[in-house]
Structure 1
Amino acid sequence: MFNNDLGRFRIMGLLEGASLIILLFVAMPFKYMLGISEAVSIAGALHGFLFIIYMMLTVYTTYKIRWSLKWFFGAVAAAFVPFGNFLLDRRIHTSFK
């Protein structure tokens, strides 16, 4: 999967999507239910780093494989929706075999 630009993008999308899920469904409950605010600090910083890398890779992949604007904006929008990157990955897998 790492052997081409689209494969690297898919891996980064899954990592970024997983970090959002961890931030929302693990770190946030730790902060507000258990009072462990460090969980959000750590998960938030990691998610922010992965988000920036994901956005840079989205621009690079769009340029490199000549994605249409529909795919570009879909990839950007998927980063803001919980489980969005997982749905995007499935769509990419079926569309670009």
Structure 2
Amino acid sequence: MLKTDLGRFRVMGLLEGASLIILLFLAMPLKYMGGIHEAVTIVGSIHGGLFITYVLITLYTTYRIRWSFKWLFGAIAVAFIPFGNLVLDRQLQKAFN
């Protein structure tokens, strides 16, 4: 999966999506229900770094495989939706395999 530009993009998308899910469904409840404020600080920082990397890899992939802007904007939009990257990954499998 890591041998192609699209494969690397898919892996990065899954990592970024997982970090969003961990942030929303683990770290935030720990902060607001458990009083552990450091959970959001740590997981949020990791997620922020992964998000920036994801955007850069999205731009790179768009350039390398000549994606249409539909794919570019869709890939950026799903990064803000929990489980959105899983849906995008399925769409990519259907469209490019």
Using the size of structure 1 for normalisation, the TM-score is 0.99
Tell me what 2:37 maps to: 37
- Give 1:78's aligned amino acid: V
Aligned residues: CA RMSD = 0.3
Tell me what 2:4 maps to: 4
Q: 1:45 offset after TM fit, Å?
A: 0.2
Over the matched positions of the two proteins, sequence identity in percent amounts to 67
- Structure 1 segments (4+ residues) deviating >4 Å: none
Q: Take 1:63 and 1:45, find their aligned partners in 2: how far apart are those partners?
A: 28
Q: 1:7 offset after TM fit, Å?
A: 0.0
Map residues 1-97 of structure 1 onto 2, 5 A cutoff.
1-97=1-97
Q: 1:22 offset after TM fit, Å?
A: 0.1
Q: Take 1:73 and 1:23, find their aligned partners in 2: how far apart are those partners?
A: 23
Which ranges in structure 2 are unaligned for 5 or more consecutive residues? none
Which ranges in structure 1 are unaligned for 5 or more consecutive residues? none
Using the size of structure 2 for normalisation, the TM-score is 0.99
